[in-house]
Amino acid sequence: MKRFQIEIREMRKWSKRVVFLFLCLSICLQIPSVSSSTSPFQENEGHKESSAAGTLKLEHEDAHIVHCSRERSRSAWKIIEEYLMPFVEKERYKVSSGCRLHSDNDLFRDQEQHKLHVDINEWRCGYCRKSFYEEKYLDKHFDNRHFDFLNVSHGRCLADLCGALHCDFVMDSAPRKTKCNPAAAARNKHLCESLADSCFPVSNGPVSVRLHEFFLRQFCDAHTCARGPKPFSKGRKKRTSILYISISILTLMLLPLFYFFIYLYQRGIKRGSQELKRILPSGRKKKPF
């Protein structure tokens, strides 16, 4: 009986070992099967990407979108944001989507809004949270990975308005001394005035009339080869961010505290040295005893 029990125990042990081995073997076999199941997916994804990129290229080749510069579009948007929108918002005027300066007519607007500038050397993609050292790499990532967010259906390129909006004036840190081209100046002025007409129609009431006039002074008057007014004669209004304000307030609050601690620290050092001086002579006096 006892022997039988021992045999049963042995059998159980062996069965456990066999089960364990079987489990190990099945896990080992599953790992490559998992990886092999993912690899076609990855391949598919890559394929999908390359084919989609191809169609985008074709689309770009067909339309003039391929010539739409992201950098110049960005510059144009910056000008609109700084030199136009604060004045438009002050008048509580709503620019219609038919106006080419409307955000809906910027091909890159959605992507640009998904840029997160976390740190000086950190730009993050708002769609997939990937990080990049420089903005240009994030731009490339957008081109390769998130082209589906491009507002291609509208086919609107804000960079096309750069002539009217003086993008070169803003982008060039050093002013170029090139001869003024009267034909180009006239063309830009015409584009500028057509923008004023479509975005702020005179028939839309007094507010629109005021903004129409403002737009002509701010952007269009400078399109001349004669010594006329400079662009953005009405100035700009930069919106101060909440973060900037809060950081300044915090710094102002912490600065006195910092100086107070330095004062206390120096006072502590002085006291310490005075006490040491007091202790040292008394110690020397005690020695002859």
Site residues (CB under 5 A) for Zn ion, limited to 208-227: none
CB of 142 to Zn ion, least distance (A): 7
Question: Would you say 65 or 125 has its CB closer to Zn ion?
Answer: 125
Question: Would you say 145 or 187 has its CB closer to Zn ion?
Answer: 145
CB of 138 to Zn ion, least distance (A): 8
CB of 126 to Zn ion, least distance (A): 8
Question: Would you say 137 or 244 has its CB closer to Zn ion?
Answer: 137
CB of 114 to Zn ion, least distance (A): 8
Question: Would you say 67 or 140 has its CB closer to Zn ion?
Answer: 140
Question: Would you say 147 or 215 has its CB closer to Zn ion?
Answer: 147
Question: Would you say 34 or 128 has its CB closer to Zn ion?
Answer: 128
Question: Would you say 93 or 127 has its CB closer to Zn ion?
Answer: 127
CB of 140 to Zn ion, least distance (A): 11
- Count of chain residues binding Zn ion (CB under 5 A): 4
Residue 161 as a binder of Zn ion (CB under 5 A): the answer is no
CB of 146 to Zn ion, least distance (A): 6
Contacts of residue 139, defined as CB under 8 A and 6 or more positions apart, other chains included, come to 70
Q: How, if at all, do strands 131-132 and 122-125 pair?
A: antiparallel
CB of 139 to Zn ion, least distance (A): 11
SS3 labels along the chain: CHHHHHHHHHHHHHHHHHHHHHHHHHHHHHHHHHHHHHHHHHHHHHHHHHHHHHHHHHHHHHCHHHHCCHHHHHHHHHHHHHHHHHHHHHCCCCCCCCCCCCHHHCCCHHHHHCEEEEECCEEEECCCCCEECCHHHHHHHHHHHCHHHCCCCCCCCHHHHHHHHCHHHHHCCCCCCCCCCHHHHHHHHHHHHHHHHHHCCHHHCHHHHHHHHHHHHHHHCCCCCCCCCCCCCCCCCCCCCHHHHHHHHHHHHHHHHHHHHHHHHHHHHHHHHHHHHHHHHHHHHHCCC
Site residues (CB under 5 A) for Zn ion, limited to 113-152: 125, 127-128, 130
Binding region for Zn ion (CB under 5 A) = 125, 127-128, 130
